[in-house]
């Protein structure tokens, strides 16, 4: 799925080890995914330089979004690891979700809908 993103228009940032794309089903405007280039299902399979590349992309995208969207006042950063954790794409990826006051009716209890789940 993530291996065919070149030319898709979704790539926002990239480095040698990771890339950042726009989420296809965003929770909020600016919701992005950071993906290591090497295909691994779990974060613990990454080598330290790859993890560093992922963190660099998370930081750069956060700075990029913060600079152009003043109402952002918080962030969700999440990784689903394993089928029981609701991972549906088995290529490790991190969700970077900008949050704004009032962007959901009940913000507690989960990033995809608020409230108890």
Active-site positions?
93
Strand partners, 100: 72
What is the dihedral sign for C-alpha 67, 68, 74, 75?
negative
Alpha helix segments (H runs only) across 1-117: 48-68
- Cβ neighbours around 36 below 10 Å, total: 23
């Amino acid at each position: 799925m993530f291996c065919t993103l070149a030319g898709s228009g979704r790539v926002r940032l990239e480095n040698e080890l990771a890339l950042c794309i726009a989420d296809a089903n965003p929770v909020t405007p600016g919701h992005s995914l950071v993906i290591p280039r090497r295909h691994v299902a779990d974060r613990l399979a990454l080598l330290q330089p790859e993890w560093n590349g992922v963190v660099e992309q998370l930081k750069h995208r956060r700075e990029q979004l913060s600079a152009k969207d003043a109402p952002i006042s918080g962030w969700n950063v999440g990784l689903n690891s394993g089928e029981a954790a609701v991972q549906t794409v088995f290529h490790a990826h991190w969700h970077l979700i900008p949050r704004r006051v009032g962007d959901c009716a009940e913000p507690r209890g989960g990033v995809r809908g608020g409230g108890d789940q």
